[in-house]
Amino acid sequence: MSQYRADLATGADRAQHQTAAPIQRVAELKRVFDGQKGVAVIRQTHIRSPFATALTALLAILSALPAFASLQSGVLAPDFTAPASLAGKTFSFSLKTALLNGPVVVYFYPSAFTGGCNIQAHEFAVNREKFTAVGASIIGVSLDSIDRLNDFSADPAYCAGKIPVASDVDGKIAKSYDLKVLEAKSGMKDSRGVEINHGFAERTTFIVTQDGRIFATIGGVVSEANVDQALLAVKRLTGRN
């Protein structure tokens, strides 16, 4: 995973930077943000030095999110329609319509083009066929603008044109799923060096059944484990392997 940026971390676990211009090599022991049960991991990665300060600020903000809390299994999943992007092309996504074809994995993430979110999108993309094989589709949801998501959905390192991502610019969809949403702070930049001017929802994945109910809620784990657990949950739901 060395091509990806550092995972989301708490403010308590600061990155130890050693400058080797124009690239900083960062070796850090950090607690990954995914709710109150973040998992401590060690990663070695590369961050371009102009991004380091802004990325650290982003990590500190996300670490301030409270304990994992969201809609739980058995309740009706809030229906939503939102502008979305697949392979760089905009379309209108409807959860109700998607459910006509089978269960849907609805995954909320803080921001496109940031460490853990890049990894999560990549993992969903490379495993898309596995989800399709057990009858499920995938939709990512964040507060990114549709223009940012057009880039993200087409990027071969992340969504790779395989999974759609929806734009929830005002955070109403995330809030309807009882997720915490934080406002943006000026000066933060993503892994491309582009300013992030939107809010952030906590990373949580919901498995929604065809009759519109939440089968499983997944949070408090690192990005890769989030995808793995989502696939296992869908297999339990459908009884297909």
11-39 pLDDT per residue, tens:
323 333 333 333 232 223 233 333 333 33
| Contacts of 90 by beta carbon, 8 Å cutoff, 6+ apart | 83, 84, 146, 150
- Statement to judge: residues 95 and 150 lie in one domain: yes
pLDDT score recorded for residue 39: 30
Specify if 11 maps to a domain.
Answer: no
Residue 58, pLDDT score? 52
Packed helices 115-126 and 223-238: angle between N→C axes, nearest 10 degrees: 40
For the stretch 150-163, pLDDT in tens is 999 999 999 999 99
Are 106 and 79 spatial neighbours (Cβ–Cβ below 8 Å)? no
Are residues 22 and 140 located together in one domain of the fold? no
What tokens appear for 161 in the block? 């044109």
Q: Specify whether 155 is located in the same domain as 116.
A: yes
Beta-strand relationship, 165-167 and 81-86: antiparallel
pLDDT at 185: 83
Looking at the structure, do residues 123 and 209 belong to the same domain, yes or no? yes
Confidence (pLDDT) at 49: 40
Which structural domain, as residue segments, surrounds residue 178?
A: 81-238
φ/ψ of 222, rounded to 5, equals -70, 165
Same domain, 133 and 100: yes
Buried/exposed 90-115: b ≥16 CB within 10 Å, e otherwise: eeebebeebbeebbbbbbbbbbbbbb
User: Residues 44, 143: one domain?
Assistant: no
83 preceded by a cis bond (ω within 30 of 0): no
* 132 shares a domain with 40: no
Asked whether residue 7 is assigned to any structural domain, the reply reads: no
Residue 70 lies in a domain: no
**What are the beta bridge partners of residue 48?**
23
Bridging pattern class, strands 165-167 and 137-142: parallel
CATH number at 215 reads 3.40.30.10
Domains in the chain: how many in total? Answer: 2
Judgement on whether residues 126 and 46 belong to the same structural domain of the protein: no
Are 138 and 41 in a shared domain? no
Q: What is the pLDDT along the chain (241 residues), one digit of tens a residue?
A: 333 333 333 232 333 333 333 323 222 323 333 333 333 222 333 334 444 445 545 544 454 444 455 788 899 999 999 999 999 999 999 999 999 999 999 999 999 999 999 999 999 999 999 999 999 999 999 999 999 999 999 999 999 999 999 999 999 999 999 999 999 888 899 999 999 999 999 999 999 999 999 999 999 899 999 999 999 999 999 999 8
Per-residue confidence (pLDDT) for residue 52, from 0 to 100: 44
Tokens of 104: 């849907």
Query: What b/e readout covers 156-175, taking b as 16+ CB neighbours within 10 angstroms?
Result: eebbbbbbbbbbbeebebbe
Its sign, for the CA torsion 14, 16, 20, 25, is: negative
My answer on whether 53 and 168 are in the same domain is no
